[in-house]
Amino acid sequence: MDLKELQNWVKKDWERKSKKRPDCHLQLIYLFEELGEMAEAIRKLSGNKKRKRLRVDLEGEMGDVLITLATVANYYGINLNNAISKTKKKITKRHAQGL
């Protein structure tokens, strides 16, 4: 699934399940929450302590972050493919200047 497909799926899922969506500020808080859960998973995976049967789903946490980010992007009418392209160009230009 590419980013456009993800955004379309998220939009349709919201339309199917809820007529009233949380406002953009609440969605941003959800994004912070999901980022925190991803950070916790990374911390657990990177920890020095030996843990028995440590179950961490980093991939699932990253998926939650992407779904929430797609929701915020949809709220503001941002095409994530375009956003990535712009950022890629900016980074490429910055790295070329640093050489």
Query: Per-block average pLDDT, block size 10, for the chain (99 residues)?
Result: 94 84 88 95 79 73 96 95 95 84
pTM, two decimal places: 0.82
CA pair distance 18, 93, nearest whole angstrom: 42
Nearest C-alpha neighbor of 37 from the set 79, 66, 16:
66
Interacting residues of 81 by C-beta distance below 8 A, sequence separation 6+? 2, 3, 4
pLDDT digits (tens, 9 = 90+) for 21-33: 778 899 999 999 9
Helical H segments across the chain, by residue range: 3-17, 24-46, 58-76, 80-97
What architecture (CATH level 2) is domain 3-97? Orthogonal Bundle (1.10)
